[in-house]
Amino acid sequence: MPDPAPSTAHTEDDPVVLGSVGGSPSVPQNAGFRFAAVGALLIVVLFAGYGLGRLNNGTAAGTSAVTTRAATPTPSSSVIDESQPHVHGTTNPVPAAGAGVAVGGLSLSSQGLTLTPVETTFQAGRRQRLEFTIHGPGGAPVTTYAVVHDKPLHLIVIRRDLTGFQHLHPEMSADGTWSIDLTLSEPGSYRMIADFTALVGGAEIATTLGSDLTVAGDYVPVALPDAARATTTESYRISYEGTPGTASTQPLLMTVTDTAGKPVAVEPYLGAFGHLVVLRQNDLAYVHVHPENQLVDGKVKFWLAAPSPGTYRMFFDFQVAGKVSTATWTVVVS
């Protein structure tokens, strides 16, 4: 069963509401200097860990993602240039050999921020409103966020057996409540994983928080498909090259063709040539990877380090002819 297409959840014309801030790209883009540090290194840049701190400070030191921004007179949104490849959801950009990377999305709270869903019980197959807030260190809802890949917040919803993947973009009301219509088609336990960069008191806090969602009923878990390098969607065949490991960051190259094997042109989607979400089986630990900003021989090139040996499911959102599709693979990392 194909996963729901992300395109059903939003359009690129969706207004991005950022509380009292107004329009999103209103702040001078200071991303240039931020990313100059990585430049040609093509190193995975980490947002949920100390990625921003590392880049802002220009050093490799630090363990916190809370970083002080250049002074701005009022609370504001910012736009992060994610034109360099990087990873969300981990806390260690370049894993030491054998150490693996830490992971995101496993907790309701991190770095002073707490995800607070309003209602976590859903009925199978029925569209319901999913609402949540992100509470800041002082307890008040956060209302300002950096725009990362065209959106102030990216939401992944998936069942515990790694079926039913949805990549959504909720909208925020002025009081900081995020909401979106959500249909969970089958009974079971799901995760919602929110990936964002909150702007709190002049600091940027990039993190990934997660909560369970429950659909009552007879849960029939689906076995994970076998690992394979090629997969198909309704219209495309997608394969990848590269072997993810834990010891170092490895390239992954995605090739998209039509069903007859003829290459097709992948288009930018949400500020990149594709978005790769990698979830670990059994705990749904989350890694969100973005590609290099140029295609390589028509292929979309990512860099990925797995946080541990184990089995993962990869979800690759890409756009062709204005339509977003999601390719999925099972990957076993040894």
Q: Which residues bind Cu ion (CB under 5 A)?
A: 154
Token pair in block for residue 7: 């395109």
Residue 193 vs 306, nearer CB to Cu ion: 193
53: burial class by Cβ within 10 Å (0-12, 13-18, 19+)? buried
Residue 10 vs 69, nearer CB to Cu ion: 10
Cα–Cα dist 5/317, whole Å:
9
Residue 105 vs 187, nearer CB to Cu ion: 105
Closest separation between CB of residue 140 and Cu ion, Å?
Answer: 25
User: How are the residues of the chain apportioned to helix, strand and coil, as percentages rounded to the nearest 5?
Assistant: 5, 40, 50
Residue 145 vs 187, nearer CB to Cu ion: 145
Q: Where are the beta strands (DSSP E) in 106-262?
A: 109-110, 113-117, 121-122, 127-135, 147-148, 153-159, 166-168, 171-172, 177-183, 188-200, 203-215, 230-232, 236-241, 250-258
Closest separation between CB of residue 79 and Cu ion, Å?
Answer: 15
Cα–Cα dist 212/48, whole Å:
20
Q: Give the CA radius of gyration of the chain.
A: 19
Residue 271 vs 307, nearer CB to Cu ion: 271
Distances 121 to 62, 80, 126, 179, 199 between C-alpha atoms, Å: 39, 34, 11, 15, 29
- Find the residue with minimal CB distance to Cu ion: 154
Closest separation between CB of residue 168 and Cu ion, Å?
Answer: 7
Closest separation between CB of residue 148 and Cu ion, Å?
Answer: 9
Closest separation between CB of residue 279 and Cu ion, Å?
Answer: 14
Cα–Cα dist 289/252, whole Å:
10
Closest separation between CB of residue 169 and Cu ion, Å?
Answer: 6
Closest separation between CB of residue 87 and Cu ion, Å?
Answer: 14
Residue 7 vs 293, nearer CB to Cu ion: 7
Residue 154 vs 159, nearer CB to Cu ion: 154
- Note the Cα 166 to chain centre separation in Å: 11
Nearest in space to 76 (alpha carbons), one of 128, 143, 9, 14:
143
Cα–Cα dist 165/324, whole Å:
14
Token pair in block for residue 136: 């800041």
Residue 65 vs 168, nearer CB to Cu ion: 168
Closest separation between CB of residue 180 and Cu ion, Å?
Answer: 12
Cα–Cα dist 70/334, whole Å:
42
